[in-house]
Structures are given as C-alpha cells and as structure tokens.
Amino acid sequence: MILDILFPNRCLGCNCTISADLLVCELCFGRIDFIHSGYFDDNLIKERCRLLFPVENTFALMQFEKENLSRKIIHELKYKSRAKAGEILAEWTMERLDFKDQKPDLMVSVPLHPKKLKERGYNQLHVFTEKLSEFYGIPFDHDLIKRNQYSKAQALKDKQNRLKSENVFSVTKSINQKNILLIDDVFTTGNTIASIAWEILKAGNNTVNVLVMAMDV
C-alpha cells in the first residue's frame, strides 16, 4: 500500500495514475492500434510469412510503429522486466483470438540464448504463452527450440544483420505430425520466426502457425 502511494502505477500513454493491474488508462486504451483480422484470414502477416516459409494460420494483436503506444507496451515487457505486461497482453489476445475447432497441438515461444536469459532474468514470452495455454487448454513447451547463438536484441540490429539468422535455432526433441503455434513478441523482417519454422518443418511432418503480440507495418 505504501509503495503504491510512493510509486503509483502510471499509464504508459499519458502518465496519469492508474490501477496497479493496468498498463494504460481507458482513454489511452482507445489509442492502441489493434489489428482486426482473424486467425484464419488472409492477413498481412500471413502474406509476409508465406514469402519465407509454409504457414497455415496467423494472428497479430497490434501494429508496431515507431511512435505508437504498442511499442511502449512491448518495450515495457521486454526491457523493463514488467512480467505483468505479458499477462495483460495475453488477456487482450484471448478477447480477440478464436481457434474455433482447429486448436494447435502445442504452443512454442521464441527462446532466448542462456546468456541473454541470465542477463534479462526472464523470457518475456513465457508468461504470455503460459496464460494463453491455460485459457485455451493447449500445452506449451519452452524447451523444444534451442537458440544456439548469442546476439544483441533484434531491435538494436540494423536490417542487414537481422537478415543473418541461419543456424541460430535447433529442435531439441523428436516431433512429427504436430500442429504448432509459434509465438513471438514482434514481427519485423520475419527472419527469426522463419528460422525456427524451418527447423520445425524439417523435424517431421509438422505444420506451423504464427502468433505475435505486434507486427511492424
């Protein structure tokens, strides 16, 4: 209670004081650029993925642009150790994502290299994935994909270096005939997701779907 008084939670949009379980106030929530296309639609992220690898279905929650609010929200989760943001983003996703009768078999999030995980203290995608897993009744596996190379954050790389991600990931377990939902925070070039998708596809007769918190448009 005292900490709440001394260090009140503030809206990421306008800096007004808000409840501790929120990221933005009601007014700023209306400023978030949500993407209004469904999982089975022929949407922009599906078009971009299909230029890189065979994909079944795709879903992006928000637009990710240079100065918009979604960027602040993702950075709060990713770089400021605010795990609560992962839960809230999951709740927003659950309000908008309908798998109908075609739920994936398994949820897999993009892993961090062990060194990066130690530096950051947690994988920002784990809370998000686990919350979705509980809601939809779909199992997750945080250990299926291994990151083999340590690198600086994608956001800090130039475009040319972001395109060099070959052999970065490997599959650690035998998988075959699985319908896998691959989860990441931001879709930029799509190179990271493509690298993992090809490893999953090479591992057996699997299909890949993609879910991201935000898409760079």
Instruction: Report pLDDT digits (tens) over 87-131.
Output: 999 999 999 999 999 999 999 999 988 787 777 777 889 999 999
Quick count: other Cβ atoms within 10 Å of Cβ 60?
26
Decide if pLDDT at 196 tops 90.
yes
pLDDT 10s digits, 65-96:
877 899 999 988 887 767 789 999 999 999 99
Distance CA 151, CA 117 (A): 12
Residue 106 gets the label, from left (phi > 0), alpha (psi -120 to 50) or beta, of beta
| Cα gap 109→127, rounded to integer Å | 10
Instruction: Give me the domains of the chain, ranges plus CATH numbers.
Output: 1-31 (no CATH), 33-216 (3.40.50)
33 neighbors 68 (Cβ within 8 angstroms): yes
What whole-number distance in Å separates Cα of residue 78 and Cα of residue 216?
16
What is the C-alpha separation between 88 and 185, in angstroms, rounded? 13
The residues with which 64 forms a beta bridge, in sequence order, are: 216
Amino acid letter for position 109 = S
Contact between 39 and 57 (Cβ < 8 Å): yes
pTM: 0.88
pLDDT of 162 reads: 45
